[in-house]
Amino acid sequence: MSTQSAHATGGEDRNRIDREISIAAPVERVWAVLTEPEHVGSWFGQGEPAPIDLRPGGIMRLDHGEYGQFPTTIVKVDPPHYFSYRWASAHPGEVAVEGNSTLVEFTLTPEGDGTRLRVVETGFEEIVIPEERIPTAGYDSHSAGWSGQAENIKQYAERLAA
């Protein structure tokens, strides 16, 4: 087993991914997209509803197709402005706990008639990622992944609002 390099190059913080996007949908609609089973299953998963026990300590099961099934552990729920969970993306099938997972945080801020969504994932330097999982669970994969997923969330929420 090896860990991903924790050494930043060019001042890059490889322990934190931070994405923001403006969405032309109200905060309540974006909140539903992030926390309701049928919506999460559509923008993140394989189209099937994602089982979600929406409370601190509850489990949200993310289906990431060929990359595996991930029982994430919900950390905080503050509707409709903040939602966070732990994700053990390097360990499919394992419940996410401190020590094997990163923290994913969604912050929703009203912006006119729409929403400013911020997604932050932290903790890559605190976990061991098996060599064979680095391409799908490491910082670089998630950095690119959240750029794509933020756009997926935007397009999905805007279609719902139409």
| Model pTM score | 0.90
Specify burial of residue 139 (Cβ count, 10 A radius: 0-12, 13-18, 19+): buried
Cis preceding-peptide flag for 80 (omega within 30 of 0): yes
Q: Check if the beta carbon of residue 113 is closer than 8 Å to that of residue 22.
A: no
Assess whether pLDDT exceeds 60 at residue 10.
Answer: no
What's the CA gap between 89 and 108, in Å, rounded?
Answer: 24
pLDDT tens digits, 88-135: 999 999 999 999 999 999 999 999 999 999 999 999 999 999 999 999
Assess whether pLDDT exceeds 60 at residue 4.
Answer: no
- Whole-number average pLDDT of the chain: 90
Q: pLDDT-derived band of residue 65, with 50, 70 and 90 as boundaries?
A: confident
Assess whether pLDDT exceeds 90 at residue 162.
Answer: no
Q: Which residue has the higher pLDDT, 66 or 129?
A: 129
Q: Mean pLDDT, to the nearest integer, of 23-43?
A: 95
Position 64 scores a pLDDT of 84
Q: Check if the beta carbon of residue 143 is closer than 8 Å to that of residue 124.
A: no
Comparing C-alpha atoms, which of 105, 106, 103, 147 is closest to residue 125? 103
Assess whether pLDDT exceeds 90 at residue 37.
Answer: yes
Position 1 scores a pLDDT of 36
